[in-house]
Structure 1
Amino acid sequence: MPGKLRRRPLMVLAWASLVLFGAGLGVVVWMGSTTSSEVVAVRAGVDRGELITTEDLMVVRVSVDPAVQVVPSSQLESLVGQRAASDLSAGTLLSPAQVQPDVLPRTGESVVGLALAVGQLPAEPLRAGDRVRLVQTPAEQAEVTTTPVTIDAAVQSVTNSADGQLVVVDVVVPSAKAAEVAARAATGRVAVVLDSRER
């Protein structure tokens, strides 16, 4: 009986040692399977097409799956001044595909300004990057007798005129269509149609 009593503490110690060893091994395996790194995240939401500023971004330390595309924190400064290729939501990690260089207009493109009044553009506010159609409108009180001329364009920027009466929309169009769009804009006989924002 005394021998059994002496063996029990030894067995308890042996089991405790095994438990501690297993826990320690688990921690080592877990640490070896996770990597923590500093990456760029979105601090403030940015609409597609808008310029990215320093205030829009932040650095966070996270454990990221190797399959997830992220931007290292060392590249944060290079992102400032570029444009958002898609809507950036606050609190999300930034991926390289969500950023594009601010080189507008590109080769083969031109920028034309449109001064538009109420009725010539949607009530839904236009945003940089929106895909739109520029539609030729008839003269005042005239009827539409033919299929209206339409030209595809992309919104580059939207501002209000100095007196607040008009909305000035800069649009990017093919260079071959730039003169036509400018001429129609000068007559005031053009309206903007906003197409789907889904991509």
Structure 2
Amino acid sequence: MSLNTAQGAAGEAPPNNRPRLALNNSPRLKQRRRPWVFALCAALVAAGALGTAFAFTSVNDTQEVLVVSRDIKRGEPIEAGDLSVVRVSVDPALSPVAASKSAELEGSRAAVDLWAGTLLAEAAVTESLVPGEGESLVGISLTPAQMPSEPLYSGDAVRIVTTPGDQGEVTNEDPVTVEAVVVGVSRVPETGGTVVDVSVPEGDAADLAARAATGRVALVLDTRER
């Protein structure tokens, strides 16, 4: 009996007839997209846009204003070389003086002490000195009970009234009253009191100063409507 040449000695199938491993033809899983990556990219783009907008706005919000070039004491005249022009971004609440007004300020006087390097505010410049001609400045020290609780401002019309003596006696005579204008107000934290600088006619200054020194005075605030 002859052997089949197509069959191996061990009864194996011919090489061409061997079973082949099945290939995995299933589609590949698509790589998942991570949402946080897109969110991060969007945030970076937004931040860049905001930065550009801020830089553009900052540049366009700048303005030319005046800055003090040297120290100027209160009452001193302002000369041409005392002020410089700078371009900065400032808060309108500061009321800086525009550079275009530089020529107008020559001959004006400093209403307060001005320090080199500071912005010049409109309230820091005045056309006249205080006290003016024919007037005197008197400082009056007052306790909270000797003045109204309403804050006082420069320019307020007030009356300084003589109060009863140490024994609290009250006479039928009208109290002595001196009309004045508030120039400045300073708080004294150590005592809780207030020093009010008032401008009065020269003829009333000595009498008012003497009465204020006794501490027997009170300040009355008159109407602000004019």
Q: TM-score, normalised by structure 1?
A: 0.54
Mapped partners of 1:120, 1:74: distance in 2: 43
SS of the aligned residue for 2:206 comes to helix
Unaligned stretches of 5+ residues in structure 1? 1-37, 45-54, 60-71, 84-93
Query: Is the Cα–Cα contact under 8 Å of residues 109 and 127 in structure 2 kept in the other structure?
Result: no
Give the counterpart of 1:57 among 96, 99, 122.
Answer: 96
Aligned partner of residue 182 in structure 1, secondary structure = helix
Specify which structure has the bigger relative contact order, considering alpha-carbon pairs within 8 angstroms and separated by 6 or more residues: 1
Name the counterpart of 2:140. 114
Is 1:73 equivalent to 2:100 in the alignment?
A: yes
Q: In the superposition, relative to structure 1, how do residues 137 and 57 fare at CA in structure 2: closer, same or farther (>3 Å)? A: same
Q: How many Å separate the matches in 2 of 1:100 and 1:198?
A: 23
Pair 1:197–1:76, CA change in 2 (3 A): farther
Give the paired residue count.
Answer: 125
Structure 2 CA distance for partners of 1:168 and 1:138, relative to 1, 3 Å: same
Q: Indicate the residue corresponding to 1:143 in structure 2.
A: 170
Instruction: Tell me how far apart the structure 1 counterparts of residues 92 and 189 of structure 2 sit (CA, whole Å).
Output: 32
DSSP-derived class of the 1:106 partner: coil
Matches within 5 A, 1:179-198: 179-198=206-225
* RMSD of Structure 2 on Structure 1 (CA): 3.1
CA change 1:80–1:73 in 2 (3 A) is farther
- Is it true that 1:43 corresponds to 2:92 in the alignment? yes
Question: Which amino acid counterpart does residue 56 of structure 1 have in structure 2?
Answer: S
Identity of aligned residues (%): 44
Distance in structure 2 (CA, Å) of the matches to 1:110 and 1:162: 26
Cα distance in 2 for residues equivalent to 1:133 and 1:57? 34
Q: Max radius of gyration: which structure? A: 2
Partners of 2:127 and 2:222 in 1: how far apart? 24
Asked if structure 1 preserves the Cα contact closer than 8 Å seen for 2:153 and 2:184, the reply is yes
Offset of residue 82 of structure 1: 4.6
Contact 1:81 1:102 in 2 (8 A): no
User: Unaligned 5+ residue runs, structure 2?
Assistant: 1-63, 65-90, 113-121
Q: 120, 140, 152: which is aligned to 1:126?
A: 152
Return the offset for 1:143. 1.7
Give the 3 Å change call, closer, same or farther, for CA 77–196 of structure 1 in structure 2: same
